[in-house]
Structure 1
Amino acid sequence: MGEALHTDCHQHLWPEPLIDALRSRGYLRGWTLHLPGEPPFEVCPDDHDVARRADDPAERVLLSLSSPLGLEYLPESHEFSDIWHASARGLGEPFHVWAAASVVEPDPAGLEKILGADRVVGLQLPATALADPAAIERLDPLFDVLKNAGKPLLVHPGPAPACADDLPSWWPALVPYVAQLHQAWLAWHLAGRRDLRIGFVALAGLAPLHHERLAARGGALGPVDPNVYYETSSYGTRAIDAMVRVVGVDGIVHGSDRPYAKPLLDPGLGDAFRHALLSANPHHFLTGAPR
C-alpha cells in the first residue's frame, strides 16, 4: 500500500450474492429496501453495478457492509459475513474490503482468518455495539485479533430504532446515526484501547466539537489520541475545518459513503491538507506506518 494512493475509506456496494441474501430475508423487495427504523428506500440498481462503480476517482476504494441493516446482530450473522467477505473480495480492483463480524457471538478465530485474506483492510463494527464501556470490553477478543494483525477498526452507524412513518427520509442519517457515533466516540474515550487504530465515519457525529461542553460537565477531551481517525463522509469544508481545530490535521481521512453521498475531493483547505486527507492520513490509518 503506497502512501501516494488516493484512498476512499468508506463506500458501499452490494455484490449479487449479498443482494440475493437480503432478498431472502425480506430486507430487499424488488429494489425497495425495508428496515424497521427507516422509511422504505428505493435502491438504484446502478449504484450496485460493479462496472459502473469501477470508474471511481479513488485508486483504492474500501467497501463496508451496510451496518444499519443489522446483519451483525442476527443469529445467522456468520453466514451473512461469509457471503459479504467472499463476494466483496471477488470484485477486484479498486475495491478493498472492511471485514464484518457478529457482535452477538464474537468469533475471534474467524476474524483472524479473514483479516489474513487478500485485500481485507480491517474490521468494521456498528456504533451500536460500542455504546458503553461494558460493550467495548465484551468485544475485547476481537480487538486482540485486530492488534495482532496490525489492522484498524472502522465504526459505522448501526440499525436505527423504529420511527414514525411521517418523518422525512433524512431523519435516520441526521438523528440516530449521529447520536450513535457520538455515543460510541464517548465510550471509546472512556474505555477504548489506545493500542488500536480506530476510525469513526462521518467525523464521529462531530463528537469532538463538544469538548467544551464535556469540560463544563466534568469531563475532559485529554490529549489528542494519534490512533483515532475521523472519516469525512457527508461533511464539507466548515465541519472539516472545525474538526481540524480540535483534533488536528493528522486524524482526518477521506471517505465518501458513496452511493449515498458524493466524494468531496477538495474541501478548499490547501494542497498540503488535500494530500493528507486523500493519501497520507489514510495510509497511516490503514498501516500504522510512522508519520
Structure 2
Amino acid sequence: MLFDCHQHLWPARLVEALRRRTAYPYLRDWTLHLPGEDPYAVDPLAHDVAHRRATEPAGRVLLSLSSPLGIEHLPRHDGAELIDLWHESALELGEPFHVWAAATVDEPDPDGLAKVLRHERVAGLQLPATAMQDPAGIAHVGPLLDEACRAGKPVLVHPGPAPACDEGLPGWWPALVPYVAQLHQAWLAWHVAGRRDVRIGFVALAGLAPLHHERLAARGGALGALDPNVFYETSSYGTRAVDALVRVVGVDPIVSGSDRPYAEATDPGLGAAFTHALYTANPHRFLTGGPR
C-alpha cells in the first residue's frame, strides 16, 4: 500500500463552521482570513471530497487539521468545538482518508484526546510546531504525548500560525519563513528535550534542521546517536533536499507526504528500493511501530 502521511481536506461541516465565525480564523465564502497572513482565496475543488478521492494515487491518506489556522491555540471553550467538529466530519469521509487527531494546546485535554485516539481510523496526534518551541513547551504538551504513547500511535509536528508580517511581502513568505523556522525550532527543542518513547514525525523534513548538524557541532552541540523514533515527512521538497537529508539521517526515517492540495507528491527518483521505503515500508513503521 502507498501512504501519503500529510494532506489537508476540509469537510463541508468544518467549512460552514469557519464561515459562521466572526473572529480569526474565519472564511468569507471561499476566502480565508488569518491574523498573520493575507486573505487567501481557497480553491473549492481542492476540498471537494469526490474530486480528491477520484484523483488520489495513494491507498491511504492521512488528513490533518490545518494548524496554521490556529485552532489548536484557541482557548479551549472556542477551539474544542471546532476540533470536535473536525474529528467527526473528517472521520465520516471514508476511505482512503484517515485522520490525524487534533488537540487544544494552551489548555490540554488529555482525557478527550484519549477517546479520539481509540478510533481505528485515527492515525495519531498532530501538534503545531508553535506548541513545541522549547523544552518548556514540550513539557506543557506532555500529557498529550502520554496519550499518544498509551494508544501506541505517533505524533506529527506541523507548522502553526504565522505571526503578522509587513504588507507587500509575497504570498509564499509564510510558508518559506515562519513555517520553516517553526519546524526548525521544534526539531531542535526535541533534540534537547525529546522523549525516546514517542514516535514523532516532522513535516517538510523538519525545515531541513538536521542539515545544520555541522553548525550545531561548531557551537558546542552534537547530533549524537540517531533516534529511530524520529521521522521526516517530505512535503514540498524534492530530490536535492531529500538526498541531502538522507546523507545525515539515513533512509529509514524518511516518509512520504504531499501537503496536498498545496503541493503534490513527487518521487525523488533515488531508486526502486528507496521508493518502496519512502511510500510503503517507512510510513508503515512510523504509523505502527513495526520492526525496521
TM range (shorter): over 0.9
1:290 has 2:286 as partner: no
Q: Deviations over 1:75-103 (max 9, x none)?
A: 21111110000000000000000000000
**2:201 is paired with a residue of what secondary structure?**
strand
Deviation of 1:144 after TM superposition, in Å, equals: 1.0
- Distance across 2 between alignment mates of 1:118 and 1:211: 38
Q: What residue in structure 2 maps to residue 269 of structure 1? A: 270
TM-score where L is the length of structure 1: 0.97
Q: What residue in structure 1 maps to residue 227 of structure 2? A: 225
Which of 239, 242, 254 is the equivalent residue of 2:241? Answer: 239
- Distance across 2 between alignment mates of 1:221 and 1:102: 31
**1:54 is paired with a residue of what secondary structure?**
helix
Which of 159, 166, 169 is the equivalent residue of 1:167? Answer: 169
Identity %: 73
Where in structure 2 are the equivalents of 1:2-81 lying within 5 Å? 5-26=1-22, 27-55=26-54, 56-75=56-75, 76-81=78-83
Deviation of 1:40 after TM superposition, in Å, equals: 1.2
- Distance across 1 between alignment mates of 2:219 and 2:276: 37
Q: Which runs of 5+ in 1 are unaligned?
A: none
Which of 129, 132, 148 is the equivalent residue of 1:130? Answer: 132
Letter in 2 for 1:34: H
Letter in 1 for 2:35: P
Aligned length: 286
Q: What residue in structure 2 maps to residue 189 of structure 1? A: 191
Letter in 2 for 1:59: G
Letter in 2 for 1:233: S
- Distance across 2 between alignment mates of 1:110 and 1:165: 39
Letter in 1 for 2:34: L
**1:209 is paired with a residue of what secondary structure?**
helix
Letter in 2 for 1:10: H
Letter in 1 for 2:105: V
**2:89 is paired with a residue of what secondary structure?**
helix
Deviation of 1:118 after TM superposition, in Å, equals: 2.9
**2:5 is paired with a residue of what secondary structure?**
strand
Letter in 2 for 1:61: V
Letter in 2 for 1:224: L
- Distance across 1 between alignment mates of 2:203 and 2:150: 23
- Distance across 2 between alignment mates of 1:183 and 1:203: 13
- Distance across 2 between alignment mates of 1:41 and 1:138: 32
Letter in 2 for 1:126: P
**2:126 is paired with a residue of what secondary structure?**
strand
Q: What residue in structure 1 maps to residue 280 of structure 2? A: 279
Letter in 2 for 1:35: L
Q: Runs of 4 or more off by more than 3 Å in structure 1? A: none
Q: Deviations over 1:2-52 (max 9, x none)?
A: xxx100000000001110111112411111111111111110000000000
Q: Deviations over 1:208-233 (max 9, x none)?
A: 00000000001111111100000000
**1:123 is paired with a residue of what secondary structure?**
strand
Q: Deviations over 1:150-177 (max 9, x none)?
A: 0000000000000112000000000000
TM-score where L is the length of structure 2: 0.97
Q: Deviations over 1:115-171 (max 9, x none)?
A: 001300000010000000001011111111111110000000000000112000000
Q: What residue in structure 2 maps to residue 100 of structure 1? A: 102
Deviation of 1:262 after TM superposition, in Å, equals: 1.0
Q: What residue in structure 1 maps to residue 211 of structure 2? A: 209
Which deviates more, 182-191 or 34-43? 34-43
**1:235 is paired with a residue of what secondary structure?**
coil
Q: What residue in structure 2 maps to residue 155 of structure 1? A: 157
Deviation of 1:105 after TM superposition, in Å, equals: 1.0
Which deviates more, 18-27 or 53-62? 18-27
Q: What residue in structure 1 maps to residue 118 of structure 2? A: 116
Deviation of 1:104 after TM superposition, in Å, equals: 1.2
- Distance across 2 between alignment mates of 1:290 and 1:118: 20
